[in-house]
C-alpha cells in the first residue's frame, strides 16, 4: 500500500488543481494584463507529462482533480488528456474530474467532456450585460459564453457559475445573476477579488466588494439557510429557501478555511504550490523529467507536502494590500 499524502498539520491532501496552460482567449482585468507574455512551449508539461503527474498524485490519494488555467479548453489536444484521466474514474481511484472554464469553448467540447466522465463544471461569469462583459474580459463575447452554458447543460453537465464580486461593477446584478441561475437550475458562487499579480493601474482595493455586504443584501430579499457543507476550501454555502439554489461565498482573504485545507495546485510548468497565498513552491518538472520511473517524482511530492504551510498571508484588514502575490491567478489557476 502506498502511504497517502498527509501534511504536517495532519491534513490529508485529496484535491489537486492543475493549470494546463497559462494562455487564455480572454484578458479579464483582475487576472491578466492586456499584453501578456506567455511561456515558451518547452516550459510546459506535455500532455503525457501531465498524465504522469496527475496519475502519480492519484496513486498517492488524490481523489478530486480540477483542471484550470489560463483557459484549459484552449490548450491544444486537451481532450486527449481528459480521455486519459477517464481510466482513473473507471478504476474508482478518482472520484471527480472537473474543470473551471470561461465557457468560450464549451459549445465545441461539452459533449466530449461528458463522455470523459466529467459531471460538473464551473463557468466563470461576472455579468450578464454585453458591454460590461466586454469591458471586464477585454476580449470576450457574452453570447458565446451563454451559448457554451447551453451546450454544457444540453450535454448533461451540471453547471455552477463563479462570479467575482466587483464593487461598482456587478453590485447591481446581484439579483439578476441570482435569478438567471435559479431559472437554469445552476448554483452560484461569489468570489472576493484577490490581490494577485501586478496589473498596473487597477487598484484591487478599489474593486473590493466584501462578501459580508453582498450576503446582507441577498438576505434582504431571500431567506438564507447556512449549509454545513464544506469543500475543504474557502467556500461557504447557503441555500435560498425561495429558489432552492445554493449560493457560495469564497472569501480567500479570511483564515477560516486553512485548518481544513485539502488541496495543492500544480502549474502548467510543473510547479507545485502548497498554498494559494504563499510563494513557496516545489519544482516537480525536474524530477519528472529526470527519470522514466516515477520514484523521484513521488519523493519530491512527499517532500513538498511536508512543507505545506499552516495558512496564508493575505490581509486586507490594513489599508494596504499586505501579502500581495506577484504571480497572476492564471498561473496557479485560482
Binding site for ligand SF4 (CB under 6 A): 24, 26-28, 31-32, 69-71, 102, 124, 330
Which one of ligand SAM, ligand SF4, none interacts with residue 191, CB within 5 to 8 A by kind?
Answer: ligand SAM
Q: Which one of 57-65, 146-154, 232-240, 325-333 is the stretch in contact with ligand SAM (CB under 6 A)?
A: 325-333
Q: Which residues of 130-165 are buried (b: 16+ CB within 10 A; e: fewer)?
A: eebbeebbeebebebbbebbebbbebebebbbbbbb
31 versus 238: smaller Cβ distance to ligand SF4: 31
CB of 306 to ligand SF4, least distance (A): 30
Residue whose entry in the numeric block shows the C-alpha cell 461576472: 126
Residue ranges in 138-157 that form contacts with ligand SAM under rule CB under 6 A: none
125 versus 272: smaller Cβ distance to ligand SF4: 125
Q: Which one of 44-52, 98-106, 227-235, 270-278 is the stretch in contact with ligand SAM (CB under 6 A)?
A: 98-106
Is 248 near ligand SAM (CB under 6 A)? Answer: no
Q: Which one of 64-72, 112-120, 288-296, 305-313 is the stretch in contact with ligand SAM (CB under 6 A)?
A: 64-72
For 54, the enclosing helix (H) or strand (E) is helix 47-59
Is 194 near ligand SAM (CB under 6 A)? Answer: yes
98 versus 262: smaller Cβ distance to ligand SF4: 98
Q: Which one of 23-31, 87-95, 234-242, 294-302 is the stretch in contact with ligand SAM (CB under 6 A)?
A: 23-31
Q: How far apart are CA 53 and CA 37, in angstroms?
A: 25
Is 277 near ligand SAM (CB under 6 A)? Answer: no
Q: How far apart are CA 233 and CA 170, in angstroms?
A: 24
Q: Which one of 46-54, 56-64, 192-200, 299-307 is the stretch in contact with ligand SAM (CB under 6 A)?
A: 192-200
27 versus 204: smaller Cβ distance to ligand SF4: 27
Counting runs of H as helices and runs of E as strands, what totals does the chain give? 11, 12
Our CA angle for 96, 266, 193, nearest 5°, is 90
Is 334 near ligand SAM (CB under 6 A)? Answer: yes
| Termini Cα distance of the chain | 32
Is 233 near ligand SAM (CB under 6 A)? Answer: no
55 versus 104: smaller Cβ distance to ligand SAM: 104
146-151: long-range pairs with CB below 8 Å, 24+: 147/106, 147/107, 148/101, 148/103, 148/104, 148/105, 148/106, 148/107, 148/110, 148/123, 149/103, 149/106, 149/123, 149/125, 149/184, 149/186, 151/106, 151/107, 151/110, 151/111
Inter-residue contact 31 to 19 (CB < 8 Å):
no
Spatial CA neighbour of 66 closest among 95, 31, 24: 95
CB of 32 to ligand SAM, least distance (A): 8
Which one of ligand SF4, ligand SAM, none interacts with residue 27, CB within 5 to 8 A by kind?
Answer: ligand SF4
SS3 label, residue 125: coil
The site for ligand SAM (CB under 6 A) is made up of: 24, 30-31, 68-69, 71, 100-102, 124, 162, 164, 191, 193-194, 196, 329-330, 333-334
Amino acid at each position: 500500500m502506498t502511504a497517502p499524502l498527509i501534511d504536517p498539520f495532519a491534513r490529508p491532501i485529496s484535491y489537486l488543481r492543475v493549470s494546463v496552460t497559462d494562455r487564455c482567449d480572454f484578458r479579464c482585468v483582475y487576472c491578466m494584463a492586456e499584453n501578456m507574455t506567455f511561456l515558451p512551449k518547452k516550459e510546459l508539461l506535455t500532455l503525457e507529462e501531465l498524465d504522469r503527474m496527475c496519475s502519480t498524485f492519484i496513486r498517492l490519494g488524490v481523489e478530486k482533480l480540477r483542471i484550470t488555467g489560463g483557459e484549459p479548453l484552449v490548450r491544444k489536444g486537451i481532450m486527449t488528456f481528459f480521455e486519459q484521466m477517464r481510466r482513473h474514474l473507471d478504476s474508482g481511484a478518482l472520484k471527480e474530474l472537473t474543470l473551471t472554464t470561461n465557457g468560450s469553448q464549451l459549445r465545441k467540447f461539452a459533449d466530449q467532456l461528458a463522455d470523459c466522465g466529467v459531471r460538473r463544471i464551473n463557468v466563470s461569469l461576472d455579468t450578464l450585460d454585453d458591454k460590461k462583459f466586454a469591458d471586464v474580459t477585454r476580449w470576450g463575447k457574452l453570447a458565446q459564453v451563454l451559448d457554451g452554458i447551453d451546450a454544457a447543460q444540453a450535454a448533461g453537465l451540471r453547471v455552477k457559475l463563479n462570479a467575482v464580486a466587483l464593487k461598482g461593477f456587478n453590485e447591481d446584478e446581484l439579483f439578476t445573476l441570482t435569478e438567471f441561475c435559479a431559472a437554469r437550475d445552476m448554483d452560484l458562487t461569489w468570489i472576493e477579488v484577490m490581490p494577485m499579480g501586478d496589473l498596473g493601474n487597477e487598484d484591487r482595493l478599489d474593486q473590493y466588494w466584501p462578501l459580508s455586504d453582498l450576503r446582507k443584501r441577498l438576505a434582504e430579499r431571500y431567506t438564507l439557510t447556512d449549509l454545513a457543507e464544506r469543500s475543504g476550501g474557502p467556500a461557504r454555502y447557503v441555500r435560498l429557501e425561495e429558489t432552492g439554489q445554493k449560493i457560495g461565498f469564497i472569501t480567500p482573504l479570511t483564515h477560516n478555511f486553512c485548518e481544513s485545507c485539502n488541496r495543492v495546485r500544480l502549474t502548467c510548468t510543473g510547479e507545485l504550490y502548497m498554498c494559494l497565498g504563499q510563494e513557496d513552491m516545489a519544482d516537480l518538472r525536474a524530477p519528472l523529467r529526470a527519470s522514466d520511473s516515477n520514484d523521484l517524482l513521488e519523493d519530491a511530492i512527499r517532500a513538498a507536502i511536508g512543507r505545506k504551510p499552516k495558512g496564508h498571508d493575505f490581509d486586507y484588514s490594513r489599508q494596504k494590500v499586505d501579502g500581495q502575490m506577484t504571480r497572476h491567478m492564471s498561473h496557479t489557476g485560482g
